[in-house]
Structure formats: structure tokens, C-alpha cells
A and B are shown apart, each in its own frame.
Chain A
């Protein structure tokens, strides 16, 4: 009878297991089956929903605008093909093969790289904190869209009803509503202000909705994504039809079709980072989602599908956004002209409506010729359509300032505002599923959940903990902190994690073994394109992007834009440097998540060196039937 013995000198290999007798269906110690997707559509919709987020709507159009649509699309598509798709395929494949969350997967591939999983989890945790705050802001605007007139369309009266609030008059009603009524922002970061109760209420709503979708794990998520992943497309189509019929839409769309020479190297960096962050790799969420799949699933097709749909959505979303921005520029231009026309009409007593937008130029020239001093005394504004069109904004500025201003001028504003904010809410919520999944699944796989605790309670505790920690963003200075989290946690750590992921799979796990796994799952070996990308192109691109990104960040001084009503140039934001303690926190935020990668490696190295015979430290799933006494006996000479 053959007796087997352990040989643990080499790293444990999570290799190929034969056919139907493999039992990684079950979670390790418990006999609870691993949850499964109800059908393929739910899985795909969840991945697409995770990848397609608010960034597709408010970051991609901005980049198209500043670089020119035609010029930006080329590096964007190149980055998608050579960097985005290989990373996506890699994550979906290892999750599906190893059937564990991010920590378990990286521990299986190589215990020395278990830190990658921990880093993924920590980063997902931090991102969940601030991402749901953005969702809370969207909810706040959504609740306020059910009023006539819209609260951001006019200035409120001051307390003795003699005039309008000064801060609102000096800036605009839209800015006032965002900075004062929503954020109640403090003039700088040192003043924390107090908790804004309406923000706390909105945040509680956001977290409750996330919780109800997570209550039964992927069972409820799978149902929720039928709505949250598809609704944005419906709204985008409605907006497309509406926006194309608005005046000024054509001028706005020109941006998408401008071609310029790609002389600015910054465009490559922005394209690569945009693709990377847009696909939501390195969060661990995609690994978790694909771990609930059947092993015999063609993840190559899934990866290509998700990547292509994500980019197509970005391009599709740009069209109504640009059209509406063009409409807004046109409206601003016409009201600027109308102001000038009124001034001229009143001063020269010309008959009402004799000067119109069309013949303004001729009237102006003739009046300027005959009475130049009187005309110059009027201080007419120069109205240039191109200046209005060039005003661009991204991020929260686009959604809460620029777009809300455009919506006021559209007939039936409440309907458009409600539709827009529900769309942003769906986009944000479906991305939150992936963020939170990247936190919950590794915790389950690490077996940190006590057995007596039902899953619902554990999820509730995590959601409550995240809600309490996110209260920092409900303070007066909350927006400044959110920008910090967004810039420092949501950028460099991901690049580092993705770089280690691809190195781990391509070089440590081995491309040969990975190809065997892929053949087992999809039925064919990956072709030369994938192999070359995984081995050479993607790591190189990632490394270059990481270095370039850090270099650019290091050159920009650490400053932030503060909204200070007492500032000399008031409606402009005041540029202030970060206080030292805040800068220290920024550095911590960038480094602490990724510090776990070397820490875990060193820890494992020490354990391995000191306890060569204690095999348990290297194995995550101790076999309850392995009789170790017997093995030790055999190893003795």
C-alpha cells in the first residue's frame, strides 16, 4: 500500500485538480456550499455594473473635452487593449479558478504575496468609505429635485428679507446650493465644522440601501443589478434624445470630433490611468464575483465583454453630456448678450426688442461708432460662445454645479433632474457592490467571522462600521477630506497592487500553469496575444504609468481649493497648501495599504525560516484527515 508523505520544501501549489472529484465547492471548514450566481446574466451585469461607475459619466467626457475627443480616443483604446483587458481577464480567471476572495487567492498563489490580498482589502475598505459619501450627495440632490422651483435655481432671501443672501449673489445660486446648503463647507481644512445632520441622514439612507442589497449576499445583489446596471443606459438614451434637440447641442458635440496631433504626452498618462481606474481592477471585487462562478465558464469572453462594454458606455455617455454642455454654453451666451442688449436699449432709449441677438453686432458697431464714450461707460461684457464652451468641469463639479445649472434652463427641469440623479445613484450603487464585496469576501475566507454569527449580522456590522467612519465626510470640512482620500487612496495603491498581481501570476505562478488552468476552464489555451501582454506589455505599461503618475504627483504642490466667502477674489476658490499634519495623513493613506505587501512577505519568510517543519503556517486549508504524526515518523531517516 502506498503511503504518501508531505513534502513541504517547495511552496505549496494550488494546482490543477482533476475533474469532478475536486471539492472546492465547499467552504473549507464549514459544510456550507459556496454561493452561486443564479444565472450568467446576473454575473455579467454585476461585473459590468461594478466597472461602469460615475467616472464613466463625469471623468471620461472631461478628458475628451480637454484633449479633444478624437485625440483622446486613440490612446484610450490602445490602453484598453494592451493594459485593461489583460488585467481584467487575469483577475476573472484566477478568481474563477481558485474560488476564493482576494486574500485567499493570493495566499494560494504564493504565501509570500498574501499581502497583495490584504492590500486589496484595505484599499477597497477605504474606497467604500468615500464612494458611498458621493452616493449620499447624489441622494440628497435627488430628494431635493422633487420641488418646484428647484432649490438651486434661485437665491434665498437673507434674514430680514431686504435682499438676497450675499454669498449667493456674488457666486451663483447653483454654487451656493452646493457649497453652502449641501456641504456647508468651512473656509479651510483646519476648521472642521460640525456634523451636518442632513448629510448624516443622506449617508444613513445610502448605507441602508447598500445593506438591503447585500443582505443575502449575491442572491440579493444579483436581483438588484437587473435594475441598477440597466437603468443608467435607459436614462442615457432618454437624455441623448432630449439633448440632441436642444439649441446649442451641435456646438457642444464638436468636442467629440476634434482631432489634434497627439503632441501632449500627458494624454497617454491620463488615458492609461482612466482605463485602469475605470475597469475597477485591483479592488478584489472582480475576483470575488468570479469566485462564485462555475469553474467551467468561459472567462475570456466575459473579460472582453465587460471591458468593451465599459469603454462603449463611456463613449455613449459623452454624447448627451457634451450636447447638454453645449446647450448650457449657448444659454449662458444668450443671457450674456441679452444683458448687453438691455443695457444698450435702456441707455439709448431704442425701441424695445429692436436690438436682437441676431443684429446685436451691427447695432453695437453703429452705436460704438457714434457714441464711443457712452458705450464704454456701460461696461458691456464681452460675450464669446467659445469661452463658454471651453468651461469644463469633471467630477462633482460636473454633476452638482454644471449639470444642475443646465437642467434649470430645460423645460420640465424636475423630471430631468430626477432622472439624472437616479442614474448617478444607480451607477454609484452598482459600483459600491464591488467595493464592499472586495471587503466582505476576504473576511469570510479568512474565517474571521465567528460561526455563531449569521451572515446578515456580519454584513450589518461592517456596514455600520463603515457608516460611522464615513461620518468624517459629513463634517464641514468633509469635502476636502474626500478629495484627499480620492487622490491618495484611490490612485497609487491600485497601480502598485495591480503591478504585483500581474507579476505574481505571470512569473511566480507561472504562465505555463496559468495556461493549463485556463485550458481547463475555457477549453482552449490563451493565444499569443494574451501571453505577450501578461509577460511583457502589461507589466511594462503598468510600471511606466506608475512611475509617471508618481512623478507628476510629486511635481504638483500639495494644495487644495477652498471655498472661502471672505476671500478677496471671492467666487474663485482660494488655493491653500495642506497643513503638515494633513500631508502626513496623505502619505500614510498612500503607503499603509501597500505596506502589507512587504510586511506579509517578510513575516512569511521569518516563519518559514524558523519553523521549517511546521507546515501549517504555509497551508491555509489544513486537511482534517491528514495524519501528521504518521508523516513525521516517515520523514525520520
Chain B
């Protein structure tokens, strides 16, 4: 009889106790703020009990992952004070001792856990956070754990800055063009010189004929006869 009363008390009292453990501004609790419509727009889903269950399950998953030893369950994640916003408080209780709350720091570590086995991904160093976000199709900005700052995404640092590559291409093309043009000018001059040496005979003939219309540029125009204006007429 006494055992039955105690069992009844335990069954009734535990959730009540659990509820008192979870309070707004609890010392070991975190506030979560979810903005589904901001993230998904027209494809936003409704936040209901099932989604809350998924949240509890993912938190339990994060705790299991971090503490590879203990087995956490959905019952260990206690949620309270849900608002329309959607925001709520949650605390994590230890599976062995239902009255003991997991300290805030450990919960934070579990949420933003760094796994050392896998290589760092460029998007986010926090594997668990990444998984939690993906479960809800949300991002670090729309699924906020108030008090846990998202680790800043490490910028991609390529070995050669991209601008150097573009610069290399441009300057290579320009120098190739300069060299090509200089070489072709040089060749043209050499060809002209060779040509002038070969028909030097023709040059003299042309000079003797005099210049017509100023179009024939091979001869030297006799300027003594052109600058009439510089001499005053007598």
C-alpha cells in the first residue's frame, strides 16, 4: 500500500518537480527563439506539439553525442513557457537523477560541440548545431539559443588570393602584347631599311623628278621655294 502510494506520488510528483525545475530565467536553462516564417516564408510549417517533440529529441541527441557515455531520452529535456513568438525555455535533467539539472556550461558545449574526428567544415565549426538547424530547416539566425553565440563562420582562405590570379592573367596578356608589338615594329623597320638599300637607285631617280603634291614623301622638299610669306615682297 505504502509502496503504491509512493509510486503514485513519484509518478505524479516527478513531472510536477520537473516543471518546477524549468522556469523562465532558470539558472541552468536556456531560452530558445524560433523564427520559422522569417526563414521559410511561404513554406513555413506550423509549430505544434510534434515539432516540440522533435526539438526535445534533437536536444537529447546532442546530449548523447557529447557525453558518449550516458543515455539521454526525450523525457530528459523539459520545456516550459512557450509563447506565440515561438520562444520557450528548456532545461536538461540527468537521466540517472531526475532532480539534478545538467549545468548550463555543459549544455552549451553539447549544443555547439566541436568534433575532433571530422575535418572542419567551412560553414560552421559546430557539428551538432549544424545538425539541429538542419532538422528544422533553420539557420543560426532563425533558431537562436539565447546566450550561446553561434561560432563565427571561418572565412575561406585560399592559398592564392583570387585577385592575384586575375592580375596575373591581365599583366601577362599586356606584356605579351607589348613584346609582340615591339618585335613587329622592329621587324618592320628592318624590312624597310633592307628595302631602301635595295632600291636606292629608284630613290635617286625620284628625287631628281621633284615632289608633286606633297604626297610623295621619299624626297626632301626644297623649302627654299615654299616659304614665300617669310620674305617680304620687294
Kindly identify, within residues 605 to 633 of chain A, every residue whose CB is under 8 Å from any CB belonging to chain B: 623-626
Check B37–A26 contact: CB distance below 8 A: no
Write the chain B residue with the least CB distance to A3: B234
Write the chain B residue with the least CB distance to A627: B224
> A208 at the A/B interface (Cβ < 8 Å)?
yes
Chain B residues whose C-beta falls within 8 Å of the C-beta of A212 in the assembled complex: 174, 177-178, 181
Which one of A4-12, A247-255, A542-550 is at the B interface?
A: A4-12
Check B232–A4 contact: CB distance below 8 A: yes
Whole-angstrom CA separation of A142 from B87 in the bound complex: 45
Check B175–A208 contact: CB distance below 8 A: yes
> B94 at the A/B interface (Cβ < 8 Å)?
no
Whole-angstrom CA separation of A209 from B35 in the bound complex: 53
Which one of B59-67, B108-116, B165-173 is at the A interface?
A: B165-173
Check B162–A352 contact: CB distance below 8 A: no
Check A26–B221 contact: CB distance below 8 A: yes
Take A23-B214, A346-B33 as given contacts and tell me if A215 and B181 are in contact as well, using a CB distance cutoff of 8 Å: yes
Take A5-B232, A212-B178 as given contacts and tell me if A353 and B214 are in contact as well, using a CB distance cutoff of 8 Å: no
Interface string of B170-202 (1 = CB under 8 A from A): 110011011001100100010000000000000
CB distance from A283 to the nearest CB of B (A): 25
Q: Of the candidates B86, B178, B226, B229, which one forms a contact with A13 in the assembled complex, judged by CB atoms under 8 Å apart?
A: B229
Write the chain B residue with the least CB distance to A198: B163
Q: Of the candidates B83, B182, B223, B233, which one forms a contact with A23 in the assembled complex, judged by CB atoms under 8 Å apart?
A: B223
Q: Of the candidates B37, B174, B177, which one forms a contact with A352 in the assembled complex, judged by CB atoms under 8 Å apart?
A: B37
Check B224–A220 contact: CB distance below 8 A: no
Write the chain B residue with the least CB distance to A14: B229
> B119 at the A/B interface (Cβ < 8 Å)?
no
Check B234–A208 contact: CB distance below 8 A: no
Known contacts A346-B33, A349-B87, then 10 further A-B pairs from the complex at CB < 8 Å, ordered by chain A residue? A2-B233, A6-B232, A13-B229, A21-B214, A147-B162, A157-B155, A209-B174, A350-B84, A353-B37, A623-B223
Chain A residues whose C-beta falls within 8 Å of the C-beta of B220 in the assembled complex: 31
Binding site for B on A (CB under 8 A): 2-7, 12-13, 15-18, 20-23, 25-26, 31, 33, 140, 142-144, 146-147, 154, 156-157, 161-164, 201-202, 204-205, 208-209, 211-212, 215-216, 220, 345-346, 349-353, 454, 456, 623-626
Most interface-central of A3, A212, A352 (chain B CB within 10 A) = A352
Q: Of the candidates A7, A33, A454, which one forms a contact with B232 in the assembled complex, judged by CB atoms under 8 Å apart?
A: A7
Chain A residues whose C-beta falls within 8 Å of the C-beta of B233 in the assembled complex: 2, 4
Chain B residues whose C-beta falls within 8 Å of the C-beta of A202 in the assembled complex: 167
Q: Of the candidates A18, A20, A345, A349, which one forms a contact with B213 in the assembled complex, judged by CB atoms under 8 Å apart?
A: A20
List the count of A-B residue pairs having beta carbons below 8 Å apart: 124
Chain A residues whose C-beta falls within 8 Å of the C-beta of B121 in the assembled complex: none
Check B224–A352 contact: CB distance below 8 A: no
Whole-angstrom CA separation of A186 from B154 in the bound complex: 28
Chain B residues whose C-beta falls within 8 Å of the C-beta of A349 in the assembled complex: 83-85, 87
Give the interface size bracket for B toward A. Answer: 35 or more
Check B152–A164 contact: CB distance below 8 A: yes
Write the chain B residue with the least CB distance to A4: B231
Which secondary structure dominates chain A's binding surface?
loop
Check B229–A352 contact: CB distance below 8 A: no
> B19 at the A/B interface (Cβ < 8 Å)?
no
Whole-angstrom CA separation of A350 from B37 in the bound complex: 13
Whole-angstrom CA separation of A295 from B2 in the bound complex: 123
Check B181–A220 contact: CB distance below 8 A: yes
> B101 at the A/B interface (Cβ < 8 Å)?
no
Write the chain B residue with the least CB distance to A208: B174
Chain B residues whose C-beta falls within 8 Å of the C-beta of A162 in the assembled complex: 152
Most interface-central of B163, B224, B232 (chain A CB within 10 A) = B163
> B159 at the A/B interface (Cβ < 8 Å)?
no
Write the chain A residue with the least CB distance to B165: A146
Check B154–A161 contact: CB distance below 8 A: yes
Q: Of the candidates B38, B174, B227, B234, which one forms a contact with A205 in the assembled complex, judged by CB atoms under 8 Å apart?
A: B174
Check B185–A456 contact: CB distance below 8 A: yes
Whole-angstrom CA separation of A346 from B162 in the bound complex: 41
Write the chain B residue with the least CB distance to A31: B220
Interface string of B24-43 (1 = CB under 8 A from A): 00000000011111100000
Whole-angstrom CA separation of A154 from B86 in the bound complex: 29
CB distance from B15 to the nearest CB of A (A): 25
Take A31-B217, A351-B84 as given contacts and tell me if A216 and B181 are in contact as well, using a CB distance cutoff of 8 Å: yes
> B69 at the A/B interface (Cβ < 8 Å)?
no
Check B231–A33 contact: CB distance below 8 A: no
Chain B residues whose C-beta falls within 8 Å of the C-beta of A346 in the assembled complex: 33, 85
Check A623–B174 contact: CB distance below 8 A: no
Q: Of the candidates A2, A161, A204, A624, which one forms a contact with B234 in the assembled complex, judged by CB atoms under 8 Å apart?
A: A2
CB distance from B152 to the nearest CB of A (A): 6
Whole-angstrom CA separation of A220 from B73 in the bound complex: 78
Chain B residues whose C-beta falls within 8 Å of the C-beta of A623 in the assembled complex: 223-224, 227, 230
CB distance from A75 to the nearest CB of B (A): 42
Chain A residues whose C-beta falls within 8 Å of the C-beta of B177 in the assembled complex: 212
Binding site for A on B (CB under 8 A): 33-38, 83-87, 152, 154-155, 162-167, 170-171, 174-175, 177-178, 181-182, 185, 189, 213-214, 217, 220-224, 226-234
Chain A residues whose C-beta falls within 8 Å of the C-beta of B152 in the assembled complex: 157, 161-164
CB distance from A347 to the nearest CB of B (A): 10
Chain B residues whose C-beta falls within 8 Å of the C-beta of A201 in the assembled complex: 167
CB distance from B193 to the nearest CB of A (A): 13
Whole-angstrom CA separation of A353 from B44 in the bound complex: 11
Whole-angstrom CA separation of A349 from B189 in the bound complex: 83
CB distance from A223 to the nearest CB of B (A): 11
Check B167–A352 contact: CB distance below 8 A: no
Check A20–B178 contact: CB distance below 8 A: no
Check B226–A22 contact: CB distance below 8 A: yes
Whole-angstrom CA separation of A448 from B166 in the bound complex: 39
Q: Please name 25 pairs of A and B residues whose Cβ atoms are closer than 8 Å in the assembled complex, sorted by A.
A: A2-B234, A4-B231, A4-B234, A6-B232, A18-B228, A22-B214, A23-B214, A23-B221, A26-B221, A144-B162, A147-B163, A157-B152, A163-B152, A204-B171, A205-B167, A215-B178, A216-B181, A349-B85, A350-B84, A353-B37, A454-B185, A454-B189, A456-B185, A623-B224, A625-B222
Chain B residues whose C-beta falls within 8 Å of the C-beta of A31 in the assembled complex: 217, 220
Whole-angstrom CA separation of A209 from B170 in the bound complex: 9
Whole-angstrom CA separation of A6 from B223 in the bound complex: 15
Whole-angstrom CA separation of A351 from B33 in the bound complex: 11
CB distance from A204 to the nearest CB of B (A): 8
Whole-angstrom CA separation of A2 from B225 in the bound complex: 13
Whole-angstrom CA separation of A18 from B83 in the bound complex: 98
Whole-angstrom CA separation of A33 from B233 in the bound complex: 30
Q: Of the candidates A4, A21, A147, A208, which one forms a contact with B226 in the assembled complex, judged by CB atoms under 8 Å apart?
A: A21
CB distance from A609 to the nearest CB of B (A): 22
Check B174–A624 contact: CB distance below 8 A: no
Check A143–B214 contact: CB distance below 8 A: no
Whole-angstrom CA separation of A625 from B234 in the bound complex: 19
Write the chain B residue with the least CB distance to A140: B163
Whole-angstrom CA separation of A454 from B228 in the bound complex: 34
Chain A residues whose C-beta falls within 8 Å of the C-beta of B232 in the assembled complex: 4-7
Check B38–A353 contact: CB distance below 8 A: yes
Chain B residues whose C-beta falls within 8 Å of the C-beta of A13 in the assembled complex: 229
Whole-angstrom CA separation of A205 from B175 in the bound complex: 10
Whole-angstrom CA separation of A25 from B229 in the bound complex: 18
Chain A residues whose C-beta falls within 8 Å of the C-beta of B182 in the assembled complex: 215, 456
Q: Of the candidates A17, A140, A143, A144, which one forms a contact with B229 in the assembled complex, judged by CB atoms under 8 Å apart?
A: A17
Write the chain A residue with the least CB distance to B37: A353
Check B163–A146 contact: CB distance below 8 A: yes
Chain A residues whose C-beta falls within 8 Å of the C-beta of B175 in the assembled complex: 208
Whole-angstrom CA separation of A7 from B175 in the bound complex: 54
CB distance from B81 to the nearest CB of A (A): 10
Check A20–B214 contact: CB distance below 8 A: yes
Q: Which 7 residue pairs are nearest across A and B when measured between Cβ atoms?
A: A4-B231, A625-B224, A353-B37, A143-B163, A349-B83, A349-B85, A143-B166
Whole-angstrom CA separation of A164 from B189 in the bound complex: 60
Chain B residues whose C-beta falls within 8 Å of the C-beta of A18 in the assembled complex: 228
